[in-house]
Structure 1
Amino acid sequence: MSDIHFRKSEIVTAQDPNLHLRNELIRDVRRQCQQLGPPDAVIVSGDIAFAGDPDEFTFATEWIAKLCEACGCPMDEVFVVPGNHDVVRHTAGQNLVQMIHQQIKRSDDPNSEIARQLRDPLAGRLLYESLGNYNQFALQFFCDLLPPNRTSAKRDLKLNDGSILRLWGLNTALVSSSYDRRNDLFVDPASLQITREDGVVNLVVAHHHLSWLRQARGLEDHLNDVAPIQIFGHVHTNRIDLNRDYVRLTASAANPDRREGGWEPGYNLVEVLVNNVSGTRKLDISAHVRVWQTAPGGFQAKMDRTSSVFRHSIDLDPWSPPLERLYPPASPDGLSEAMVEVMASPIEGGAAMNTLREVGLRFYGLSFSKKSEIAGRLLLLEDEDIGQPDHERFRRAFFRAHERGQLDELAKAVHAAEQEA
């Protein structure tokens, strides 16, 4: 889903105009997933908040937890990317930040200019400072971003034949501010370097539709080569493009502004299956597009002529499972390969679901002072962390807990803090 737009001035009031709509969405998700089975991931393609406010992200966490409970997906399998409404605009509008934005927009070679700015520690910090509240929220899902090397999020899901569905989350809000214009936003150059691997199907998630990006032609050509599944949001209009080599889904807004023309809330359920047809591997994609209908109200299937499901099949390269896995899973958000394995495995001595992602979710729910106290008591913070944003310092604490064999100790400290609260 996309464009949830949790607006602080509405979400905690009796006049919240979308309370009924959100409730109906969760009820519809529950019914659909009872028929299709629980999803392996929940993807939110940006605009989680409305003004990048911490309270909006707190509300989003609570609502996403209800959504995950309804559909039967573990909350640690949520995958998010930032949108323009996740940016704190008064931060993005500061003079120094706007000078960097304009330098990029006026450049004859924006990709090189973006790379140059991201290599500069001060410029990189300024470019990402407006996403600070988003990053605090995204840390719980290990989708937080930090330049220059962690400018996209990654996650691996296992497909039915043992191959990998690799999620790539791009940041199209890199130069977003109150001055946004169509065809005037950018992704960083790393987004144009997504690689193909044997036994891996790439699925790319970005908030802004290609029509909003200056590099639209180059990015589109690249994604069409490397990503059989592409997911976008922002334009609030549901579209499905079925091409020989890819499926491109543009999601409706879950909570569009009611003053918009063509107001049509919606969300998608996407089934992905690998089949072997006469010796040819095929990626079968079934998209269940749910849109809001009024009078009587309720979510209904968008029809593909006479079918309630949009189906497409894409040829894949030959591949068979090796006796031993020959490739590591994606290193999500800059994690080491060993860390990826730990994230998917139970912590020694802990409950079966006590994975690092699960501990991360619980750690996120603690107060800032309690998180700092635990990290300090376990000696998981170092002098080199001084000056880093809060989300990065806590991320590094997870790294060190793994490297020093303290994951179980960290999990117990989080549990004790929860009990005290």
Structure 2
Amino acid sequence: MLVLLLLCLVTAFSSGCGSKASLDPAKPVTLTIWHVYGNQTNSPFNDTIEKFNASEGKAKGVIVKVASVSSSNVIDKALFASAKQDPGAVPLPDLFTAYPRVIPAMHDKLLHWDKYLDKEDLAVYQPEFLAEGYQDKELLMLPVAKSTELLFVNQTYFDRFAAATGASTEDFADYDKLFELCRKYYTWTGGKNMCQLDDFYNYYLTSMASLGDPLIKDGKPDLASPNFKRIFRAAAEPAIAGGLGIEKGYAADAWKTADLISNVGSTAAILYMRDYVTNPDNTRETIVTNYYPCPVFSGGKVTLLQRGVGLLAIKSTDERKNLGAVVFAKWLAQENSNLNFAMQAGYLPTNKEALPKLLNNPQDVHNFNYRKLYTCMQQVYKKGTWLHLPHKAAKIQQNLEYGSKNILRAAHQQYLQEIAGGANPQQTLDKLVEESYQKLLNYKQ
């Protein structure tokens, strides 16, 4: 009898002796989630969660409850505050979406998906997307849906510029030519920027990789590389002289008023793109938005930056919550579930069967703008190489992103002042580009 009791104690967590945790549809477990898709009242992910709750969740005894819909930065701050139990911080959610940058700070609190999902479960994912979730051989993040970067163009306004100047959309394929267009547009409009890079860090990362030269080497950014100098100078010239926007935030606000007519940014921005612009007199003008592959530098290869948050779970002492998180994750990864959510949100599915099904058949997408978006992505998908953000590089990203924008913004103002004072434009630009590069080498956020 004593031997039997000891065996039960030893195996309690695996075979259970009647105590193994399990899900019960009659007594469902509720999981809270914070996510980034849309907003509280208009979210394709909320719709997807409702479908789960009414189907697989109901059958297995799992209810997912949306507690917050916000930006990734807001979620990051809330996570860190909750994890540290800061005064006024809200309790941690059971599930959340975030970028891998949160993993080092949250590591000890995270559920290890690979302890619950077998090879067959993981085989449904696009391998490149799944790989991003591993850190130190531990699977801490699962891919949900991905975006990449494209060039968005207000075609209505660009066509007017092209008709007056001879500018061509063919120049969108090459960064050097795109930046030349930016300066021409600045002159033609009397001081309006044509384009914006939503993320300088992503621009550096993909452009360097495209040229076969990694941005980060041995844990440090290789800013001394001739390729980096080339890439930096190409963007710095129109940023300083005018034509490339370097305002705070994303291009969405300036896009609404046609203060920008193009931007390189995440395909997920389609959720917020409007089909009209608002004029200074508050009248509206309908516009056509077109999508083009992200430019590359001459000699570079098409590189697809995989953007988008992943799904993470807080490891719970209530094993039913851990099991419930796995049920939700597995359902979300199924081909139909994943494809339907991705198409509704304008994202790329992460299921390896759903991804080619969508990009090989964009004509089947009902939403007109999404259909154009996926048709453009089809072009690059077939010849591009996927690239994910480097792990444990959050500080490098922050310094290069904020440093580039802050330094170039100040240099632009200095350029305008010196030119107004009679300085030689080209000499002044060359000087400020070099000074900006030197400042970036030592920038600390």
Query: What TM-score, normalized to structure 1?
Result: 0.28
Name which structure has the greater RCO, CA cutoff 8 Å, separation 6+.
Answer: 2
Query: What TM-score, normalized to structure 2?
Result: 0.27
